[in-house]
Every structure is written in C-alpha cells, then in structure tokens.
Amino acid sequence: MDTSLPWVAVVDDDEAVRRALQRLLRSAGIAARAYAGGADFLAALDGGHPCCVVLDVHMPGLSGLEVQARLATLAPAVGVIIITGQQSAAEQAQAQLHRPLAYLGKPVDDQAILDAIGMACAKPSSATGGPPP
C-alpha cells in the first residue's frame, strides 16, 4: 500500500460492523484499517496517523469518547466520526466538546459517513502517513 495516501481507521468492538465499514470504504477507493478497540488503535498511532477515524461510542475498555478526547491532544488534525447504536443527548453533548465531523446512529447511512470522511481526508494537512505495518 502506498504510505503517502490518506487512510481511515475504523474502531469498533463489533467485528461485523468493522468488516462492513471496511468494505464500504474500500469500495469507495478509501484505504482503511480496522481495530477492535480504542487501546489497539491508540497503540498503532506510532506507525502514522489516519486522516480520519470512525469511532464507536460503546466499547469495552476505552470508550469511543475517551479515545476522541485523547486524539484531541495526541493528533488534533485527525478527523473524528462518532457512531453509536444507542444515541443519547448527554453522549452527543460530550462528543461535541471535541468537535467531531459527524455523530451518526447505527445503522450508519453509507453516504453520510462517506461524505464526512471525504471532508476529513480532503484536507491537505490531514494526510499524515500510511497505516501502521
């Protein structure tokens, strides 16, 4: 894979959701890497930053909102898209503190997520290297 191209990280503890999102992104010509949890994703950041990360809110260990907060410090140029199967006003308000590109309910609308990813990955400053090995 060309490491100079932007890529997207998909972080969700549900394997079926990870696979579906990865397939959608690849069908749209977007390089994607999948992670089963927030800690796995954050550990992989040493190998380069994605232009965007799709984060599930409810995961064991680090929640998507905790990962989002850490990214705001570690890699503020990385765009964040929050996805959740259990939307709540409190969680949406917490997510908005770090200005996600989108806050989407599951099942995720394909075009809505592709549009949000397109906004993140089109920014020249967001292309920060390829996926970790």
- pTM (2 decimals)? 0.86
With bands split at pLDDT 50, 70 and 90, how would you rate the model's confidence at 94? confident
Closest CA to 56 of 91, 4, 99, 7: 91
| Largest Cα span, the chain | 40
Task: State the chain's mean pLDDT as an integer.
Answer: 88
Which 8-state DSSP code applies to residue 49? B
Strand partners, 83: 56, 104
pLDDT value at residue 131: 41
Asked whether the beta carbons of 18 and 106 are under 8 A apart, the reply is no
pLDDT > 70 in the chain, percent = 89
**Is 130's pLDDT higher than 80?**
no
User: pLDDT tens for residues 23-82?
Assistant: 999 999 999 999 999 999 999 998 789 999 999 999 999 999 999 999 999 999 999 999
Do the strands 31-35 and 52-56 form a parallel or antiparallel pair, or are they unpaired? unpaired
Domains of the chain, earliest start first = 7-123 (3.40.50.2300)
CA dist 80 and 69 (Å) reads: 10
